[in-house]
Amino acid sequence: MKITYDKKADAINIVFRKGLVKKTLEIAPEIFIDFDAKGNPLYLEVLGASEKLGQKNAQEIILTPQSQSYLHPYAHL
């Protein structure tokens, strides 16, 4: 699992496993989960993260030395 915070988009992205997205559900306002064809969760994205978690908490969740940037495959949509 990989967790990143995109400050520009104010989004937390959680990658459970990489794969081809078959279905995306909005499980709460601005919170999306992507599933593969077998129904396995792949990605979770929380938009407006600083509002939902607080600015400090949103950034501290993923600030680790091993943290790397990850661009959600549908970030451009």
pLDDT on residue 64: 47
What are the domain boundaries of the chain?
2-60
CB 12, CB 49: distance < 8 Å: yes
pLDDT at 77: 40
**Which DSSP letter does residue 69 get?**
-
d(CA 58, CA 76): 21
DSSP β-bridge partners for residue 25: 33
Per residue in 16-67, pLDDT (tens digit) is 999 999 999 999 999 999 999 999 999 999 999 888 877 666 566 655 444 4
Tokens 């599933």, located at residue: 35
Confidence of residue 72 (pLDDT cuts 50, 70, 90): very low
Residue 60 host element (H or E): helix 55-60
pLDDT at 37: 96
pLDDT given for residue 69 in this prediction: 46
